[in-house]
């Protein structure tokens, strides 16, 4: 899972943040996995069952998950998370505390029309579907539909599949199709971007045309394993894919910070998520 990815295939994206094996993931209980993850995170590496965090304090991470996240996690979200733990690319799964945060945000915004770029098995997709109203919608995109088969039974069981319009293919091309229909312009309340990091900066101008003024674009993994503040020497200890994508994240962060069309906050939850509110 540590090969460099350059053209955004699903296989390549599997390398987002982990070193945990499927065997480890599938043989551990939920709680054991959490402990392993936060301990690994404390050592400065991100591993295990998709529960990645830049928080380096083991006790705090455990406390957050056990005291407020897992007790509030929807039954089918938990089911999907545990099913994904058995999948070989489970490190791509969104962290549960981040999904919880996004759910509160979506409800606060009364988000109804949403988009997700980068679905994998559907954890953040299901979290979004549960947080928006009955007649809410999510246009969800991924270059690969296969992984979503893992989470789809949970999504159906949760009774929210009707909110999802899944489109398979490279997001840049799918966005052009959406943009060709003017009814979508300035219409999205919320857009979650969690796919090929090298293209975030290319998604941005398209997404700014699709999100409404006052709506939110959220870019995931913008602290990139904590490497954004590391020296080249420190970076050497990280896998090749982390080193490869760091400049793209750095470029994006710089660009967003200077973009006067948005208001923004880089929130240090999960692996960092940059919230961009369109202002003009
Ligand atoms: N949001 C998911 C979750 O909550 O578990 C995790 C998404 S995972 C980190 C990234 C996904 O982006 C992968 O499923 C991969 O197939 C997809 N992807 C990579 N490049 C893409 C592209 N160019 N267009 C669309 N999807 C892409
Ligand atoms: Ca992510």
Tens digit of each residue's pLDDT (9 = 90 or more) over 82-128: 999 999 999 999 999 999 999 999 999 999 999 999 999 999 999 99
**Is the distance from CB of 118 to CB of 142 less than 8 angstroms?**
yes
Q: Is the CB of 245 under 6 A from ligand 1?
A: no
How far away, in angstroms, is 59 Cα from ligand 1 center? 30
Q: Is the CB of 145 under 6 A from ligand 1?
A: no
Cα gap 19→266, rounded to integer Å: 25
How far away, in angstroms, is 120 Cα from ligand 2 center? 10
How far away, in angstroms, is 196 Cα from ligand 1 center? 7
Residue among 79, 95, 143 to mutate when testing ligand 1 (max atoms within 8 A of CB): 143
Mark residue 186 as left, alpha or beta (left: phi above 0; alpha: psi -120 to 50; beta: remaining). left
Give the residues across from 138 on adjacent strands.
Answer: 114, 164
Burial 2-19 (b: 16+ CB within 10 A, else e): eeebeebebebbbbbbbe
Q: What domains appear along the chain, each with residue ranges and CATH number?
A: 10-92 (no CATH), 96-278 (3.40.50.150)
Does residue 206 sit in helix, strand or coil? helix
Tens digit of each residue's pLDDT (9 = 90 or more) over 252-277: 999 999 999 999 999 999 999 999 99
How far away, in angstroms, is 220 Cα from ligand 2 center? 5
* pLDDT at res. 78: 98
Q: Is the confidence metric ipTM above 0.95 for this complex?
A: yes
Which of 141, 100, 132 is CA-nearest to residue 113? 132
Give, as one character, the DSSP assignment of residue 84. Answer: H
Tens digit of each residue's pLDDT (9 = 90 or more) over 181-219: 999 999 999 999 999 999 999 999 999 999 999 999 999
Is the pLDDT score of 39 beyond 80?
no
Tens digit of each residue's pLDDT (9 = 90 or more) over 7-33: 333 333 333 544 333 333 333 344 344
Is the pLDDT score of 4 beyond 60?
no
pTM of the model: 0.86
CA angle 188, 118, 232 (to 5 degrees): 115
């Amino acid at each position: 899972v540590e090969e460099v990815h350059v053209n955004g295939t699903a296989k390549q994206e599997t390398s987002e943040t982990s070193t945990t094996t499927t065997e480890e993931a599938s043989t551990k209980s939920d709680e054991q996995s959490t402990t392993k993850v936060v301990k690994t995170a404390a050592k400065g590496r991100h591993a295990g069952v998709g529960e990645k965090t830049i928080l380096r304090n083991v006790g705090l991470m455990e406390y957050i998950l056990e005291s407020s996240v897992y007790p509030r996690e929807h039954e089918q979200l938990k089911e999907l998370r545990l099913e994904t733990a058995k999948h070989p690319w489970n490190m791509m799964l969104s962290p549960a505390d981040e999904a919880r945060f996004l759910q509160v945000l979506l409800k606060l915004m009364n988000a109804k029309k949403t988009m997700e770029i980068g679905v994998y098995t559907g954890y953040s997709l299901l979290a979004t579907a549960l947080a928006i109203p009955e007649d809410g919608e999510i246009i969800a995109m991924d270059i690969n539909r296969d992984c979503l088969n893992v989470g789809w039974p949970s999504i159906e069981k949760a009774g929210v599949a009707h909110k999802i319009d899944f489109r398979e293919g490279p997001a840049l091309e799918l966005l052009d199709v959406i943009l060709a229909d003017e009814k979508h312009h300035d219409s999205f309340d919320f857009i979650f971007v969690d796919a090929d990091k090298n293209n975030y900066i290319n998604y941005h101008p398209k997404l700014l045309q699709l999100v409404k003024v006052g709506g939110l674009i959220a870019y995931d993994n913008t602290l990139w394993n904590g490497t954004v503040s590391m020296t080249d020497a420190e970076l050497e200890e990280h896998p090749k894919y982390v080193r490869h994508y760091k400049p793209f994240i750095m470029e994006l962060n710089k660009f967003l910070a200077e973009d006067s069309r948005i208001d923004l906050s880089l929130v240090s939850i999960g692996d960092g998520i940059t919230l961009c509110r369109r202002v003009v």
